[in-house]
Structure formats: structure tokens, C-alpha cells
Amino acid sequence: MAPLALAALALALSPAHMSTRTCFLTRTRFPARSKPAIAAFRSPKSTDVAVEEQRARAAAVGLTPAKYTEVTRERAATHLADVGLHYGGDGESVQRADFLEPLWGVQSVSAVPDVCATVDGRVLATIYEIGGALTGVLSASVAKQLPLIPHIGVRVNGIEYFYSDHIEQRSVPVMREMLGDCPQVTLDLGPAALDDEGIARVLGELESEWEAKDYHVFDKNCVHFAQVLSQRVCADSPEGVPQPLIQGVLDVSERMLDSLPEWRQKLGRRGVKEGARA
């Protein structure tokens, strides 16, 4: 199968075709709910205006896609050097993942300090690379090397929250069983502003805005949800994951098409739409 067709198949992959659901563009599977899942990629927003949105984003920056990626990576590296990764300071060990160099310009980052990783009332965000071989396939399809296919979960008091075709939550042991083998890094975002009851209230407020019908493969996926939730629950980190660090992760989807010529962008969009109808 041609790379572009395979990428379209990956983009069009939806819960309607599987007994388990997928999050973003991934083969990582979460246990299915009892009620029928909805095809997250059927939203017209995910296909009809995606090319125009991404072209406008690229034009507004005024840089070539390659130069933009370089500048974004340099900003992340500068933030890590000047500010660091964690709200609570560096841990004694390090975290390594292959996506760190192309994403943030470093080969490793400090681990979360033990006291922050284990204490209740702390907000942690974990960035997972869940694409595996699909990351290379999709990179070839969109004519740029993607650093990862991301999933982000936000953890408070031993529970990790994330968005697939609805807002979900799993205990830390379950998340380790599900995604423990995936390359990943965890950030300490500082103390939580809310207790469990307050977090439940926030999730209830967000629920109607983060359903399957709201999913946008480029602009409203699990990465965007993690940033929104972290901004709501962090006491001292109002931007959630620091912007220089989250930007490259957001760009994986928001700028996925910016290296393609216009005719291939349209072809890719058509492939996604056809896949979503299947």
C-alpha cells in the first residue's frame, strides 16, 4: 500500500471499525465501554477545513516548515536550560526517550523528584510516544519527520485523565500496564488547586465540550485536552505545560500537513474523508 494511502487509513481509523478505541493516531488501545463507541474521525471539522487552517497557520508564522520546527525546538531547549522541566526542581535520575532530541533539542531530561512523584495533591503530565512503527509511516506520508505520535495524560492523586472519544480516567497502575512500554517523559506541574471533588466538578463542566462529536484530528485531540485540564487544575502553573514545551507536541497535529504541496494536501484530506465514511 502506498504511504499516503496508509496514512489516510491511519487517520481514518475509528472505533466504529474496531472492538477497542484508539486515541489520536495510534494503535494503542483502551478497553471499550459498554455503550457503542462513536467514530471520532467523522467530524466534518476534521477534514473539510483542515487544509485551509494549516495553510493559514504556516503563512502567519512567515517561516518555512523546517525553519519553524528548528525555532520551536530551540525555544524548548532554551526553556529547559533556563527554567527546567519541573515546577519542583530536578530529580536525581533522568528520563530518556528518542523523541526528546527532535522535539526539545535534548537527549534526556531530569526525572520528577521522588517527593513530587509520590505525594498527593500534585499535578503531573506524561507525554507518551504511542505511534511505534506508525510514526515512520505517517512521517513519510506527510513529507516531514514527526518526532512522535503523542498522547498526554494528566495525573492527580493517583488518577490519570485523558481524552479519546470522551473524557476518561484510569488509575496509575492501569496506565502503567497499558502504556508502560511506550517511550515517555513526565513533568511536574506543581500543586493542584483542587481536591478530588473539585476535579470531578471541572470534568463535569468539560464533558459536554469533549465528546466524540467534538474530536478534531488536528485541533482538538488528547494533547489539547491535557493542556485545558492542566490549566484548570494547577494552582501555580496557569499555562499548564509550559508553552515552549507543549508547542512542539501540539504541532505534530496542528502543522502535520504544512510540508505537503497543495495537491497532496487535498488528496490526503480526501483520503481521510473516504476513510471516515467507511
Q: Break the chain into its structural domains and give their ranges.
A: 3-277
d(CA 109, CA 151): 18
The pLDDT mean for the chain works out to 80
Query: Would you say 230 and 125 are in contact if contact means Cβ atoms under 8 Å apart?
Result: yes
Higher pLDDT, 160 or 51: 160
CA separation, residue 248 to residues 50, 73, 94, 102, 122 (Å) = 18, 7, 21, 9, 24
Q: What is the pLDDT of residues 215-235, one digit of tens each?
A: 877 888 999 999 999 999 999
CATH code for the structural domain at 3-277: 3.90.1720.30
- Is 76 a residue whose pLDDT tops 70? yes
* Per-residue confidence band for 17, with pLDDT thresholds at 50, 70 and 90: very low
Please state, for a pLDDT cut of 70, what percent of the chain lies above it. Answer: 75
Residue 238 identity (one-letter amino acid): P
What's the whole-model pTM score? 0.82
Q: Band of the pLDDT at 258, cuts 50, 70, 90? A: confident
Residue listed under C-alpha cell 511505534: 132
User: Each residue of 190-209: pLDDT tens digit?
Assistant: 999 999 999 999 999 999 99
Q: Is the pLDDT of residue 133 over 70?
A: yes
